[in-house]
Amino acid sequence: MSMGLLVQKFGGTAVGDPERIRAVADHIARTVNSGNQVVVVVSAMGKETDELLRLAEDVSSKRPGREMDMLITAGERKAMSLLCMALHDLGVEADSFTGSQAGFLTDTNHQNAKIVEVKPERIQMALSEGRVPVVGGSQGVSVDNDVTFLGRGGSDTTAVALAHAVKADACELYTDVTGVFTTDPRIVPSARLMTNVSFDELLEMTATGCPKPAMRSVEYARTHGVKLHIRSAFTWQEGTWVGEEKVEMEQAIVSAVTHDTSETKMTISGVPDKPGIAASVFRALSDVDVNVDMIVQNTSEDGVTDISFTVPHGDLEASMSIAENLVEDIGASGVSSDTEVARVTVIGAGMRSNPGVAASMFETLAENGINIQMISTSAIRISCMVAENQINEAVQALHETFGLAES
Ligand code: ASP
Ligand code: MG
């Protein structure tokens, strides 16, 4: 390990119990003792955030945003002070800071606040005094001076934003897996740990089902060029480096296969094929904050067509009631939904300059008797919607076709 200024972020399982907290403190101490400066970001212990959310539900039906944020951020506050105590036991001078103290200024959007600015003066002061700052993740203070929570998975974003603000050499995200894999190892045991992945590829991966790190943090890292290292707080081995795309001699055409079972397909049928109809459907959905993903419009016959699209499971009810209301307004014949769908995606920067990836993907699915219901693409990604009960087969077959397994 070369010497430098590092941000080290530890997820909930990494600090899940007293023994884990001491193990993490030991790792930080070793990093400091070998000559590095370290800024630590910590999540709430284990399932603490879920527990606090459950507690709030048991107490109140209203749950005002301001009080929810005050409650949830207590989880990280508990973890950060305990971690500092463990560091002191090892002879490392450390101070904990809330998001507010660490200089995280956010908007007023409780439970999902966005960072407006980071003013890390106290963090820099602590560093200059040779102390280790330990910052509570996923929190800040709003422009109205209230405590805010950055949302689920927000500690990753805290770490990346802090790394940018203090000009760290790298941001290490320590988690319970050894890094980013070519696909979900629970579906394909021979999935390979990726030693490198580009921001663009990882962003597409997190947008299509790869659970870690949080997508927002990858976006932030890409925008500001923060080098990421995703690695394990259990084995401490080298994990996956994330950075700018490298022009490699033998760049793989496809780097990863992801899948997502969290979306539902909706179809509005018998829609008049004329200007303004799609606009009114998707405007109505966006007005209630439904995030529509894939969209397919069939070729029209006798002036009518079908429009299919996907929405997150959680938004199905709201989306259905909006679509049902619209059916009459736009003169469509009906609306239906299918929750038994899943999306499989292949991702690779090498696709930009290599034709034929779509063809290989479709052939592979066909050979396995898997019907494609919808398709969407970007410059470095191809996604297909298939039946949910065939998703594992689809992932396994594509991982094999594109030669991603451990050799
Ligand atoms: N503890 C919060 C959560 O579970 C924030 C985080 O860990 O990123 O979502
Ligand atoms: Mg987390």
CB of residue 16 inside a 6 A radius of ligand 1: no
Q: Please give the class, per CATH, of domain 5-243.
A: alpha beta
CB of residue 43 inside a 6 A radius of ligand 1: yes
d(CA 90, CA 84) in angstroms, rounded, equals 10
Distance from the alpha carbon of residue 204 to the mean position of ligand 1, in angstroms: 21
The three state secondary structure string of the chain is CCCCEEEEEECCCCCCCHHHHHHHHHHHHHHHHCCCEEEEEECCCCCHHHHHHHHHHHHCCCCCHHHHHHHHHHHHHHHHHHHHHHHHHCCCCEEEECCCCCCEEECCCCCCCCEEEECCHHHHHHHHCCCEEEEECCEEEECCCCEEECCCCHHHHHHHHHHHHCCCCEEEEEECCCCCECCCCCCCCCCCECCEEEHHHHHHHHHCCCCCCCHHHHHHHHHHCCCEEEEECCCCCCCEEEECCCCCCCCCCCCEEEEECCEEEEEEEEEECCCCHHHHHHHHHHHCCCCCCCEEECCCECCEEEEEEEEEHHHHHHHHHHHHHHHHHHCCCEEEEECCEEEEEEECHHHHHCCCHHHHHHHHHHHCCCCCCEEEEECCEEEEEEEHHHHHHHHHHHHHHCCCCCC
Q: Tokens at residue 277, please?
A: 């109809």
Domain ranges of the chain: 5-243, 256-260+341-401, 263-338
CB of residue 47 inside a 6 A radius of ligand 1: no
> Which ligand 1 atom sits nearest the alpha carbon of residue 43?
7
- What pLDDT was estimated at residue 261? 97
- Residue nearest ligand 1's atom 6 by CA: 153
- How many beta carbons lie within 10 A of that of residue 251, not counting itself? 16
- Residue nearest ligand 1's atom 9 by CA: 152
CB of residue 230 inside a 6 A radius of ligand 1: no
- What pLDDT was estimated at residue 300? 85
- What pLDDT was estimated at residue 102? 98
> Which ligand 1 atom sits nearest the alpha carbon of residue 155?
8
CATH number of 256-260+341-401: 3.30.70.260
Fold annotation for 263-338 = Alpha-Beta Plaits (3.30.70)
> Which ligand 1 atom sits nearest the alpha carbon of residue 150?
5
Q: Do domains 256-260+341-401 and 263-338 have the same CATH topology?
A: yes
Choose one of 68, 112, 152, 171 to mutate for the ligand 1 pocket test, by most ligand atoms within 8 angstroms of C-beta: 152
Phi, psi (5° rounding) for residue 62?
-85, -50
Choose one of 52, 155, 162 to mutate for the ligand 1 pocket test, by most ligand atoms within 8 angstroms of C-beta: 155
> Which ligand 1 atom sits nearest the alpha carbon of residue 12?
7
How would you write the pLDDT of the chain (407 residues) with one tens digit per residue?
457 999 999 999 999 999 999 999 999 999 999 999 999 999 999 999 999 999 999 999 999 999 999 999 999 999 999 999 999 999 999 999 999 999 999 999 999 999 999 999 999 999 999 999 999 999 999 999 999 999 999 999 999 999 999 999 999 999 999 999 999 999 999 999 999 999 999 999 999 999 999 999 999 999 999 999 999 999 999 999 999 876 565 567 999 999 999 999 999 999 999 899 999 999 999 999 899 989 999 888 889 999 999 999 999 999 999 999 999 899 999 999 999 999 999 999 989 888 899 999 999 999 999 999 999 999 999 999 999 999 999 999 999 999 998 77
pTM for the complete prediction? Answer: 0.93
Q: Which residues surround ligand 2, an ion (CB under 5 A)?
A: 11, 43
For strands 304-312 and 295-297, give the pairing.
Answer: antiparallel
CA-CA distances (angstroms) from residue 298 to 270, 271, 273, 278, 340? 11, 10, 10, 12, 21
Distance from the alpha carbon of residue 37 to the mean position of ligand 2, in angstroms: 24
Choose one of 9, 41, 43 to mutate for the ligand 1 pocket test, by most ligand atoms within 8 angstroms of C-beta: 43
Q: Tokens at residue 3, please?
A: 């010497």
Distance from the alpha carbon of residue 61 to the mean position of ligand 2, in angstroms: 25
